């Protein structure tokens, strides 16, 4: 199978000539790898060269969904009748990998990006936005008339102020209903709200229990009357960063509680691979820079750090893995484990960059 990632960073590859140069470089690199390969049969080489030609023709046509993507992942295998194109929201380095399985690490990093549902309110205005923080888009806009404050005293002022507060609550209820409906209809991971300090708690009171359970602490601090989409994304990014740090901290604390105590945690390449081979991993934790060489059994998938002739489990032939990181990620996904790339804390350093929280 050929896995090709095309970087669509708008600062470098916004124009067709720039994309074409990157495509040509990746295709030529793959062709050189095939010419230098000595572990493939004649039939495999013929099929892979046809796959490469198909990739070249597709990427050079007008068909690829470049618009709105930070990168494309394209997977081609004529032997398996597979041709799959996936848009990634963030740019990723251009890369081509030829292997017996898809190269999925960049997809894992993309999947780790959470989807947010955001409600911004004032007494009169409301906006509901959703998506990954760097692709946040508006779902609903509420621009409603709410009475202004009455400046006369007496009973008429009290009645008028009650009317104002009722109008405000009706407005906030409508915004909350929009949020609750979106949450039910689409998949979101976290929710956030923004607005004046005295208004936000009133909005939260109308949110459903499901939304409240995923509501992050703090407010998106923007002036709704003047903030554009870019300012809103920037304000939300602060909450996203804090949420990511806390999520990693919780996982690392669970790992630390289990490592070395006979609990549900292991650290270091050797123990982590053993847990992956035994299909005991609930969460695989990796530093961004973790990688090393290793080997994998072509029949049973057993991972090992050092090749030793044949697979010790079933005697099958071994293949060299230049990137054990990718093999570990594939094994984790195959057993339904979560993969977490730890970016904000140094805890995995003493564990050589890798660890796992276990199921049992």
Number of domains in the chain: 3
Rounded CA Rg of the chain: 26
Rounded mean pLDDT, 177-190: 94
Structural domain contains residue 163? yes
Q: Over the range 77-94, which residues count as b (16 or more CB within 10 Å of their CB) and which as e?
A: bbeeeeeebbbbbbbbeb
Give the model confidence (pLDDT) of 306-315 as tens digits.
Answer: 887 899 999 9
Q: Could you tell me which residues come within 8 angstroms of residue 268 by beta carbon, excluding any fewer than 6 positions away?
A: 351, 352, 354, 355
Q: What is the pLDDT of residues 126-153, one digit of tens each?
A: 999 999 888 888 988 988 655 554 445 5
Domain co-membership, 197 together with 164: yes
Determine the Cα angle at 288 with ends 284 and 292, to 5°: 80
- Is the domain of 98 the same as that of 139? no
- Of 245, 276, 304, the residue that ends a domain is 245
d(CA 277, CA 102): 19
Q: Which of 41, 46, 29, 43 is nearest to 98 (CA)?
A: 29
Please say whether the beta carbons of 9 and 18 come within 8 A. no
The domain in which residue 82 lies consists of 2-111
In this model, does residue 18 exceed pLDDT 50?
A: yes
Q: Above 70 in pLDDT, residue 159?
A: no
Give the strand pairing for 354-358 and 294-297: unpaired
**56 lies in some domain:** yes
Answer whether residue 253 is part of any domain: no
Tell whether 94 and 127 lie within a shared domain.
Answer: no
Distance CA 187, CA 264 (A): 30
How do residues 219-253 score in pLDDT, each as one tens digit?
999 988 888 888 999 999 999 999 999 999 999 99
pLDDT at 163 over 90: no
Q: What is the pLDDT of residue 149?
A: 47
Does any domain span residue 307? yes
CATH at 190: 3.30.420.60
Task: Note whether 321 and 340 are same-domain residues.
Answer: yes
Q: Does any domain span residue 252? A: no
**Cβ atoms within 10 Å, residue 147:** 15
């Amino acid at each position: 199978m050929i896995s090709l990632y095309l970087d669509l960073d708008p600062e470098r590859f916004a124009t067709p000539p720039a994309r074409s140069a990157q495509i040509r470089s990746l295709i030529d690199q793959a062709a050189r790898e095939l010419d230098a390969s000595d572990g493939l049969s004649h039939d495999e080489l013929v099929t892979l060269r046809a796959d490469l030609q198909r990739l070249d023709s597709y990427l050079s046509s007008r068909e690829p969904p470049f618009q709105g993507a930070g990168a494309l992942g394209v997977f081609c295998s004529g032997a398996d009748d597979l041709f799959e194109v996936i848009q990634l929201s963030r740019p990723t380095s251009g890369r081509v990998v030829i292997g017996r399985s898809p190269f999925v690490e960049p997809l894992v990093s993309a999947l780790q990006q959470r989807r947010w549902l955001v409600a911004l309110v004032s007494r009169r205005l409301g906006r509901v936005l959703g998506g990954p923080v760097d692709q946040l888009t508006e779902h609903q806009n509420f621009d409603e008339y709410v009475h202004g404050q009455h400046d006369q005293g007496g009973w008429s002022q009290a009645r008028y102020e009650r009317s104002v507060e009722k109008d405000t609550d009706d407005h906030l209820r409508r915004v909350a209903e929009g949020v609750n409906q979106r949450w039910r209809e689409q998949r979101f991971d976290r929710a956030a709200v923004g607005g004046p300090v005295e208004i936000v708690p009133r909005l939260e009171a109308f949110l459903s229990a499901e939304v409240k359970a995923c509501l992050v602490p703090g407010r998106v601090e923007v002036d709704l009357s003047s903030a554009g989409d870019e300012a809103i994304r920037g304000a939300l990014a602060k909450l996203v960063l804090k949420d990511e740090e806390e999520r990693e901290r919780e996982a690392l604390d669970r790992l630390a509680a289990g490592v070395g105590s006979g609990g549900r945690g292991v650290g270091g390449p050797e123990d982590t691979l053993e847990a992956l081979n035994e299909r005991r991993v609930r969460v695989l934790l990796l530093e961004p820079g973790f990688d090393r060489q290793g080997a994998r059994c072509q029949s049973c998938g057993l991972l090992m750090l050092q090749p030793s002739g044949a697979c010790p489990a079933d005697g099958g032939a071994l293949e060299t893995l230049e990137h054990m990181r990718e093999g570990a990620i594939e094994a984790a996904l195959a057993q339904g484990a979560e993969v977490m790339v730890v970016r904000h804390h140094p805890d995995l350093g003493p564990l050589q960059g890798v660890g796992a929280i276990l199921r049992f």
